[in-house]
Amino acid sequence: MENARFTVLRCTKPKRISYLCKENKNILQMKRLFWIMVLMLSCIGSMAQKPLIGISTGYSASDNSASVRFTYVDAVVNAGGIPVLIPLTRDSLAAAEVINKVDALILSGGEDVHPFFYGEESASALGGVNYERDLSDMWLLKTAVKLNKPVLSICRGEQLTNVTFGGTLYQDIPSQFPNRPTVQHGQRSNGTLPIHHVNVVKDSHLYEIMQQEQLAVNSFHHQAVKDVAPGFKVVATAPDGVIEAIEGFPKYNILAVQWHPEYFAQQGDKQWIKLFEDLVQRAGGSKSNIKEPTAKPRIR
């Protein structure tokens, strides 16, 4: 008997201990799982609040590359968006699908817009043009409008926006602008330095964002908006009368500026980050489902 009892005791104790250990292990695993899930959900939650901001990129045929200055990427990140670079593609439906996936579009700067798009011959002072990129950017822009995605157009993006919706450009400000330009539009100093002022129209979305009637801006352009596209209005001009910003509200969810606010926003300039925060905000409720676009761009 004694032997038997001894055996029972010897057997039960280790069994109970191992059972408890298993139980603890399970609880620990469940706790770990719980916290992983909380972490994942909070990550998904915070990602969901950040809209995807598509940024059109430049295209270089000579070195076969697509790129954009990092100022745009940092400006979007600083404003609480997720940057997505959009390369030029000959597959128009793929490009449209990218626009469907992002929540907003930034049309970045670059070459002159080809004057054929607004029915003019090239002036001798016209700069380099990139016909393929014009087509691609116009397609991205038209698709964004069709899918009701908000747009922020910058520099060349502003000019291209105007041309896409029926406006025209001065191909070269120094040789074509009726009044002699009195400020430096082709800035020779660093882009983080404002070089001239613009006067902002008070009754405008731009004013709502910036809350200032005069803004100090940088300037890297020799082309400018001439005839404003129907549905758009001028919301900022330089002291010499050169058009510096247009917007299409309420018909088009587009703000287009001639200067480069991303230089300042990259530096963490709180005032200029507002312009990108505005795009992030406009992107907040713009999720929509794509219907296959009916028109195709004429990319050869």
Rank residues 185 and 274 by Cβ distance to Mn ion and give the closer one.
185
Examine residue 108 and tell whether it contacts Mn ion (CB under 5 A).
no
86 within 8 A of 95, measured Cβ to Cβ? yes
246-275 residues near Mn ion, rule: CB under 5 A: none
Minimum distance between the CB of residue 214 and Mn ion, rounded to whole angstroms? Answer: 14
Rank residues 135 and 257 by Cβ distance to Mn ion and give the closer one.
257
Examine residue 218 and tell whether it contacts Mn ion (CB under 5 A).
no
DSSP conformation class of 250: T
**Which of 185, 205, 260, 274 is in the footprint of Mn ion by CB under 5 A?**
185
> Could you tell me which stretch among 6-14, 170-178, 214-222, 225-233 binds Mn ion (CB under 5 A)?
214-222
Element (H, E) at 209: helix 205-210
Rank residues 185 and 226 by Cβ distance to Mn ion and give the closer one.
185
List the beta bridge partners of residue 243: 237
Minimum distance between the CB of residue 164 and Mn ion, rounded to whole angstroms? Answer: 21
**Which of 136, 168, 204, 219 is in the footprint of Mn ion by CB under 5 A?**
219
Minimum distance between the CB of residue 191 and Mn ion, rounded to whole angstroms? Answer: 12
Examine residue 149 and tell whether it contacts Mn ion (CB under 5 A).
no
Rank residues 149 and 226 by Cβ distance to Mn ion and give the closer one.
226
Rank residues 59 and 170 by Cβ distance to Mn ion and give the closer one.
170
Question: Alpha-carbon distance 226 to 60, whole Å?
Answer: 28
73 within 8 A of 262, measured Cβ to Cβ? no
- 3-state SS class at 235: strand
282 within 8 A of 104, measured Cβ to Cβ? yes
Closest chain position to Mn ion (CB): 219
Examine residue 223 and tell whether it contacts Mn ion (CB under 5 A).
no
> Could you tell me which stretch among 6-14, 30-38, 156-164, 211-219 binds Mn ion (CB under 5 A)?
211-219
Minimum distance between the CB of residue 94 and Mn ion, rounded to whole angstroms? Answer: 35
Strand-strand pairing, 52-56 and 104-107: parallel
List the beta bridge partners of residue 152: 106, 255
Question: Alpha-carbon distance 218 to 238, whole Å?
Answer: 11
Let me know if 260 is a catalytic residue: yes
- Calculate the CA 143 to chain-centre distance: 15
Rank residues 153 and 219 by Cβ distance to Mn ion and give the closer one.
219
- Which residue of the set 155, 185, 196, 222 is catalytic? 155
Minimum distance between the CB of residue 227 and Mn ion, rounded to whole angstroms? Answer: 18
Residue with tokens 């200029």, as numbered in its chain: 272
127 within 8 A of 176, measured Cβ to Cβ? no
Rank residues 107 and 245 by Cβ distance to Mn ion and give the closer one.
245
Residue 66: CB atoms within 10 A of its CB come to 15
Q: Binding residues for Mn ion, how many (CB under 5 A)?
A: 2
- Which residue of the set 111, 158, 244, 262 is catalytic? 262
Minimum distance between the CB of residue 217 and Mn ion, rounded to whole angstroms? Answer: 7
- Which residue of the set 114, 205, 221, 260 is catalytic? 260
Minimum distance between the CB of residue 219 and Mn ion, rounded to whole angstroms? Answer: 3
List the beta bridge partners of residue 56: 86
Residue with tokens 């609480």, as numbered in its chain: 80
Residue 241: CB atoms within 10 A of its CB come to 14
C-alpha to C-alpha distances, 225 to 19, 78, 133, 243, nearest whole angstrom: 79, 29, 19, 6
In the complex, the residues that contact Mn ion under the rule CB under 5 A are 185, 219
Residues with active-site annotation: 155, 260, 262
